[in-house]
Chain A
């Protein structure tokens, strides 16, 4: 197994965490999220993001509201729910913890 094939599932798992972080800053619509992720290791596409957001909404972590746009049809703006905010805080904390643990080994 190459390193890349081991990294892919890690990225995939972390994408949800990252999306929660982005949505947690301010309410955004999908092109905003794509733009923020573009050029990072987590560059992704609408085909991936919509199913993920649908799952997060089902888990009551995010919710959306329709907002009119200057051009075209109304857009879905996503934001965190209280449950989402709590879960994001827990993930953030755990992530810091893991990073510390990993950094402490192998010396």
Chain B
């Protein structure tokens, strides 16, 4: 039997994760993303956290070991800890914050088309790749009806703020974002 590992890009590092560790990693990052929903710069912090995970796991790998397992990932995540947002005032400091309200937004960074799938994945906590595969399947089965659904969501879902460190958007996500903003302005559509 051969166990296949997943290659994961964590900010500036590339590592191999086995299935269990990969699932745990995705869960941690999704949790962090939802905790950072109210933060103006979630992308920057998530990139930092990804790098922290990569560094911590690399440090824990044995010399011959190439694939990260839960044995490395769990203590790494333990050391990094879950995301704590800095209190903005006396009212919110100290008290364990109620989960930040989840917002359904399109995420342009890393999007294939406009970021609807990434946004839905974040909102509902689904794996984005699985969601995209599902969308393509649905596209084939529905004979194109999904395109209308996608376009409607594109028009209605607000866009998440762009990352502060200005990672460039893909050509298509950039165009989609610009086009939707144009349409919304033209028809006075307030998204959100």
Taking Cβ atoms with an 8 Å cutoff, the residues of A that contact B are 5, 8-9, 12-13, 15-16, 30, 44-48, 50-55, 58, 72-74, 76
Interface string of B19-62 (1 = CB under 8 A from A): 00000000000001000100111001100110110110010000
Give how many A-B residue pairs fall within 8 Å (CB-CB): 71
Secondary structure type dominating chain A contacts: helix
If A8-B94, A9-B93, A58-B40 touch, does A51 touch B52 (CB 8 Å cutoff)? Answer: no
- Bound complex: CA A13 to CA B90 (Å): 9
Assess the A9–B94 pair: CB atoms within 8 A: yes
- Answer yes or no: B178 CB below 8 A from chain A CBs: no
Give the bracket for the number of chain B residues in contact with chain A. 20 to 34
Instruction: Identify which of B78-86, B115-123, B133-141, B151-159 touches chain A.
Output: B78-86
CB atoms of B13 and A72 under 8 A apart: yes
User: Cβ of B87 and Cβ of A12 under 8 Å apart?
Assistant: yes
Cβ of B85: which chain A residues have Cβ within 8 Å of it? Answer: 51
Known contacts A47-B84, A72-B58, A74-B12: A12-B44 contact under CB 8 Å: no
Partner of A46, one of B40, B81, B93: B81
Interface residues in B85-99 (C-beta closer than 8 Å to A)? 85-87, 90, 93-95
Interchain CB contact under 8 A, A51 and B12: no
